Structure formats: structure tokens, C-alpha cells
């Protein structure tokens, strides 16, 4: 297998749950050696979130592929000495323990910077390292609430949690990109740096459009189910066979095409209620009625064919099983196999394809699987 982009980079991770493990798994997929330090007994508590993957946690399998698991009691002198030895040879240290925990272990940014000037130290917290929320527990859904995401997600009648751990993913991705940036900077300066990522800050950045709409538009974004809060037509529309097709019109040119080539109603173009996107969004319910009246003459498959022929963006609603069987993923050979304590598992390849290189899909580790080997190597 050709060398991976991060071959030779060693990452030590005092991590748990999702945000930090998600960041370090991206590094592992690029070839970095990720040594995951877990607590004695049950290890990362994400191992026990569920038993969906042949008895293993689906959460843990998702974010811990390609790592080495080392069990250490970091309050024990011998184990702490081994952790210090790991850090002395590490390029990156990632942690998302409770606020103040690494400081109490004597691993503050100041201590690490003094002893390891080339080390990239990345701290992931819920709400940041100071301020009134510093010590508040920050689980994914709770950060979503604090960031305002639930206020714009769901139906007009009731807020809803997005179906994935989006605050953790946002924080993990900013940690990942920050670490890559720091590695690039170190190539030029020879010095490491200290990074900090707050889940609230990360998700707050993703809330940029709702923020600006609220701050400068007055009304802001409202919960609109599967409809777009700012663009119309954009969402699900019922067809004559009772099925739904999702479609999106992004500009007036596409609106004219939809009316002329799909709906067969050029008069709608001149309707003052639908003259531009803000007006179409204001009169979205009326527009929906007009479109569904036309779509009643078509099956969902027939409408999709019409939309495709006219160049109008559209989709059918798939469930997770539909993702697993998606013809586009199959055609592009986007599935791979990796090992685990419960046998081979199938998963998607990393989203970034590096030309000429096969993704490194290394196994999910058993708890403490690499403790003895790492202890022998670093002691």
C-alpha cells in the first residue's frame, strides 16, 4: 500500500465519547498512529452506548477505527510515567476530558509547551476554558439547545433533535482541521502550538445563516419541517401515487424552467405571488398547492424523470438502509471492510479520496489490546 499522508505522525488521545474520537479517527484514516488511552475497567464509556454491531457499540465502531487501545491509570505512578513517555515522542496530544482534568494531571498547555516545544496540543471542551458555562456538562443534545439549533429544527409545532450527534461532529471536525493546520505550520516554523475547540463555538459557527437572518432580518429562521426556511419551492411534494418527491429551485431561471417544462403552467411565472424567491417563500403554502395539483398527474418515478430531464434538482427520501444500498455509492466502490473484535465490518471509505492511494481501513481495537506492546515499546 502506498504511504499515507500522515505516516510517521503519532497522536496520543485522552479521549472519550464522540467529539475527540471523531477528530482522531480522521487522522488515523490518513495514516497517523493514534494511541487511544482508556481508563481501566470499561474504557471509553462510548463502548457501552449500545450493542448494535454484533454486540459492540455502533458509536464506538464509528469513531475509533484504526487506533491502538492502551489502558492506563493515569493517577498511578508507573502508568503516568508511560503516558509521559508517550507524550515525549508524540506529535499531537488530543483530549476532551472534563474541564480542568488535564491541569490536575499536570498536563496543562503551559507544562506541555515547556517540555515538548514541537507538540501540538488540542483541547476539546463543551463551552470553553473560562466563562460561566466552563464547568457545565456539555452533552451533544444540550449543546444543540444552547446553540439555538433546536429552535429552528423540527415542525412548527415541536422542536426535534437532528438524527446525528451534530455538535460533537462539528467540534471534532474543527479539531481535525486545526490539527492539520498546526502540522503544516510546524513544518515551516519547527514549533508546535496549543489549540482549543469548544462545541458551542463550533456549532455556533454552523448557525451562521440563522444568526444573520435573526440579527439583521428581524424575523429570523423558523422551524419548517422538511421545507427550507428561506427558499421556495424547496422540500417535499406529493405526487399522484401518494409518494413524495423532494425538489429544489435555487434561482429564477430554474423557477421558469420548472413552470414551463415540468408543471406546464407558464402563467405561474407571471403570478405576482411568485415573482421572486422571497415572495414565493411568503406564499409557500399557496405555491405548494399549485405544484401538487400539477404533480397529481404523475407518479413519483415519472416526476423524477421529468425533473431530471429539465435539470431541476430532486431526490427521493431514503432511509438508512437505502443509504447502505445506494446505487451511487456502489457504482463508485465507496464501501470497504475493516477488522474488529467481532470480525470484519463494512463501512464507508473516508470522504476525502487521495489520488493513487488506498484508504487505510485499520481495525477497531479491543479494550487494552495494545497495552503490553506499547508498554514494551515506550518503557
CA–CA gap between residue 135 and residue 129 (Å, rounded): 8
pLDDT, one tens digit per residue, over 3-12 is 899 999 999 9
In a domain, 1, yes or no: no
Q: Are residues 48 and 128 in the same domain?
A: yes
Q: Indicate the residue among 317, 348, 370 that finishes a domain.
A: 317
Q: Indicate the residue among 292, 317, 342 that finishes a domain.
A: 317
Whole-number pLDDT of residue 8 = 95
Q: Are residues 307 and 339 in the same domain?
A: no
Whole-number pLDDT of residue 1 = 63
Q: Are residues 143 and 38 in the same domain?
A: yes
Whole-number pLDDT of residue 220 = 78
Using DSSP's 3-state secondary structure scheme, residue 346 falls into: strand
Whole-number pLDDT of residue 111 = 93
Q: Are residues 345 and 275 in the same domain?
A: no
pLDDT, one tens digit per residue, over 271-312 is 999 999 999 999 999 999 999 999 999 999 999 999 999 999
Which of these is catalytic: 228, 283, 298, 326? 228
Nearest-5° Cα angle at 187, 198 to 102: 35
In a domain, 324, yes or no: no
For the question of residue 228 being annotated catalytic, the response is yes
Furthest CA-CA distance within the chain: 80
68 versus 100: the higher-pLDDT residue is 68
Tell me: pLDDT of 219 over 80. Answer: no
Q: Are residues 127 and 177 in the same domain?
A: yes
Instruction: List b or e across 234-271, with b for residues whose CB sees 16 or more CB atoms inside 10 angstroms.
Output: bbebebeeeebbbbbbeeeebbebbbeebbeeeebeeb
Q: Are residues 101 and 249 in the same domain?
A: no
CATH number at residue 279: 3.30.1540.10
Q: Are residues 192 and 121 in the same domain?
A: yes
In a domain, 3, yes or no: no
Q: Are residues 202 and 241 in the same domain?
A: no
Q: Are residues 40 and 180 in the same domain?
A: yes
CATH number at residue 68: 3.40.50.10540
DSSP per-residue codes, 145-182 = HHTTGGGGSB-SS-B---SS-HHHHHHHHHHHHHHHHH
Q: Are residues 339 and 241 in the same domain?
A: no
Whole-number pLDDT of residue 70 = 98
In a domain, 226, yes or no: no
How much of the chain, in percent, has pLDDT values that exceed 70? Answer: 100
DSSP per-residue codes, 322-334 = HHHT-HHHHHTT-
Instruction: Give the chain's mean pLDDT.
Output: 94
Please state the domain count of the chain: 2
Q: Are residues 341 and 201 in the same domain?
A: yes
Closest Cα partner for 246 from 301, 315, 155?
A: 315
Confidence category of residue 21, pLDDT binned at 50, 70, 90: very high
In a domain, 212, yes or no: no
In a domain, 213, yes or no: no
Tell me: pLDDT of 148 over 80. Answer: yes
Q: Which domain holds residue 366?
A: 10-207+330-378
CA–CA gap between residue 234 and residue 249 (Å, rounded): 6
pLDDT, one tens digit per residue, over 187-206 is 999 999 999 999 999 999 99
In a domain, 340, yes or no: yes
In a domain, 66, yes or no: yes
Q: Are residues 188 and 307 in the same domain?
A: no
Distance of CA 187 to the CA centre of its chain: 28
Whole-number pLDDT of residue 356 = 85
Q: Indicate the residue among 269, 296, 317 that finishes a domain.
A: 317
Amino acid at each position: 500500500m502506498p504511504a499515507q499522508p500522515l505516516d510517521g505522525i503519532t497522536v496520543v488521545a485522552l479521549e472519550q465519547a464522540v467529539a475527540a474520537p471523531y477528530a482522531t479517527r480522521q487522522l488515523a484514516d490518513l495514516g497517523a498512529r493514534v494511541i487511544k488511552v482508556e481508563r481501566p475497567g470499561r474504557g471509553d464509556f462510548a463502548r457501552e452506548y449500545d450493542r448494535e454491531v454484533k454486540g459492540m457499540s455502533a458509536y464506538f465502531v464509528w469513531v475509533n477505527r484504526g487506533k491502538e487501545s492502551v489502558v492506563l491509570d493515569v493517577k498511578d505512578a508507573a502508568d503516568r510515567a508511560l503516558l509521559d513517555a508517550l507524550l515525549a515522542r508524540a506529535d499531537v496530544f488530543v483530549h476532551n476530558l472534563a474541564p480542568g482534568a488535564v491541569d490536575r494531571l499536570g498536563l496543562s498547555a503551559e507544562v506541555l509547551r515547556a517540555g515538548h516545544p514541537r507538540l501540538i496540543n488540542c483541547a476539546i471542551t463543551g463551552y470553553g476554558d473560562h466563562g460561566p458555562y466552563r464547568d457545565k456538562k456539555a452533552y451533544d443534545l444540550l449543546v444543540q439547545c444552547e446553540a439555538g439549533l433546536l429552535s429552528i429544527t423540527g415542525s412548527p409545532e415541536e422542536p426535534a433533535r437532528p438524527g446525528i450527534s451534530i455538535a460533537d461532529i462539528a467540534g471534532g471536525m474543527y479539531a481535525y482541521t486545526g490539527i492539520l493546520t498546526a502540522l503544516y505550520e510546524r513544518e515551516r516554523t519547527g514549533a508546535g502550538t496549543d489549540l482549543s475547540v469548544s462545541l458551542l463555538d463550533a456549532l455556533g459557527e454552523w448557525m451562521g445563516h440563522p444568526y444573520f437572518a435573526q440579527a439583521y432580518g428581524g424575523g429570523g429562521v423558523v422551524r419548517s419541517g422538511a421545507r427550507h426556511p428561506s427558499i421556495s419551492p424547496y422540500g417535499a411534494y406529493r405526487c399522484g401515487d401518494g409518494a413524495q418527491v423532494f425538489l429544489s429551485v435555487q434561482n429564477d431561471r430554474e423557477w421558469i424552467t420548472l413552470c414551463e417544462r415540468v408543471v406546464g403552467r407558464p402563467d405561474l411565472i407571471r403570478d405576482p405571488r411568485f415573482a421572486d424567491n422571497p415572495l414565493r417563500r411568503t406564499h409557500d403554502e399557496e405555491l405548494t398547492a399549485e405544484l401538487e395539483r400539477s404533480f397529481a398527474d404523475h407518479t413519483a418515478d415519472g416526476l423524477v424523470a421529468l425533473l431530471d430531464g429539465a435539470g431541476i434538482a430532486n431526490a427521493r427520501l431514503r432511509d438508512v438502509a437505502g443509504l447502505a444500498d445506494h446505487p451511487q455509492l456502489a457504482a463508485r466502490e465507496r464501501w470497504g471492510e475493516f477488522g474488529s473484535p467481532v470480525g470484519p465490518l463494512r463501512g464507508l471509505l473516508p470522504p476525502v479520496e487521495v489520488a493513487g492511494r488506498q484508504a487505510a481501513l485499520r481495525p477497531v481495537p479491543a479494550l487494552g489490546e495494545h497495552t503490553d506492546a506499547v508498554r514494551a515499546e515506550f518503557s
